[in-house]
């Protein structure tokens, strides 16, 4: 019985300490030190929240850069991937048809090498990034759809260039570009 009482009391103690005080303490520091990030890196435009910098959105119109394929169509409830194995015929079919679509949609040469991330669904289904290469393959189509002139075209390429991120600290992770930020920038090109 003594063990039972001790167990109950110490369990209560640790529940209060690690289950209540610890998360509240971290929240307090986080909200003071990094309020924007702690609250989801939300992007506000014209007094409206248009999304989170970290959560990808579905883009399928001609006037925006497309994001990666997503097994959950960018609906975050709940996040996840396709979980297809490499020998799953559905995966093979999906890769083939995404390739055809990407080429047709962007009016590319049929032999163009498409960056892999545009053919495969991401792990979270919410991947906010594509590779800078994948963005560059889409600029002609966007420029045409938006009837851009020469100067606007330059701004477009400049945006891709500026928003492309190298690996963090030059060696961690991969080169990438945030699709939502890029498309927001795109809307500002006049």
Count Cβ neighbours within 10 Å for each residue of 40-61 and write b for 16 or more, e otherwise: eeeeeeeeeeebbebbbbebee
| Residue 46 touching other proteins (CB under 8 A) | no
Instruction: Tell me: does residue 79 bind other proteins (CB under 8 A).
Output: yes
Looking at residue 167, the DSSP 8-state letter turns out to be S
- Closest Cα to residue 107, out of 73, 131, 143, 153? 143
CA 52 to chain centre: 9
- 19 lies in the site for other proteins, by CB under 8 A: yes
Q: How far is CA 135 from CA 54, 58, 132, 143, 164, in A?
A: 18, 15, 5, 12, 9
Beta strands in the chain (DSSP E): 42-45, 48-52, 129-130, 164-165, 176-178
Residue 153 Cβ vs other proteins, minimum distance, rounded to whole Å = 21
Quote the radius of gyration of the chain (alpha carbons, Å).
Answer: 22
Report in angstroms how near the CB of residue 126 gets to other proteins at its nearest: 6
Q: Indicate which single residue of 106, 131, 139, 143 sits in contact with other proteins (rule: CB under 8 A).
A: 131
In the shown chain, the binding pattern of residues 95 to 114 toward other proteins, with x for contact by CB under 8 A and - for none, equals: x-------------------
- In the shown chain, the binding pattern of residues 152 to 181 toward other proteins, with x for contact by CB under 8 A and - for none, equals ---------------xxxxxxxx-x---x-
Smallest distance, other proteins to C-beta of residue 118, A: 9
* Region from 87-95, 100-108, 147-155, 156-164 binding other proteins, contact rule CB under 8 A: 87-95
40: contact with other proteins by CB under 8 A: yes
Instruction: Give the C-alpha separation, 67 to 124, whole Å.
Output: 13
Give the x/- contact pattern for other proteins in 56-75, rule: CB under 8 A. xxxxxx--x---x-----xx
Q: How far is the CB of 150 from other proteins (least distance, A)?
A: 25
Q: Can you tell me which of 47, 62, 91, 102 binds other proteins, judged by CB under 8 A?
A: 91
């Amino acid at each position: 019985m003594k063990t039972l009482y001790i167990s109950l009391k110490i369990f209560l103690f640790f529940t209060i300490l690690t289950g209540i005080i610890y998360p509240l303490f971290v929240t307090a520091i986080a909200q003071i030190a990094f309020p924007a990030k702690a609250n989801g890196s939300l992007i506000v435009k014209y007094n409206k929240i248009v999304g989170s910098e970290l959560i990808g959105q579905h883009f399928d119109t001609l006037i925006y850069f497309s994001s990666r394929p997503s097994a959950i169509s960018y609906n975050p409830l709940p996040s996840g991937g396709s979980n297809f194995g490499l020998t799953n015929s559905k995966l093979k079919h999906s890769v083939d048809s995404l390739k055809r679509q990407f080429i047709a949609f962007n009016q590319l040469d049929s032999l163009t090498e498409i960056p892999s991330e545009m053919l495969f669904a991401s792990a979270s289904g919410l991947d906010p990034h594509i590779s800078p290469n994948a963005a560059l393959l889409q600029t002609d189509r966007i420029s045409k759809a938006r009837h851009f002139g020469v100067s606007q075209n330059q701004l477009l390429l400049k945006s891709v260039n500026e928003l492309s991120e190298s690996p963090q600290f030059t060696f961690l992770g991969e080169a990438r570009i945030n699709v939502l930020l890029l498309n927001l920038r795109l809307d500002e090109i006049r």
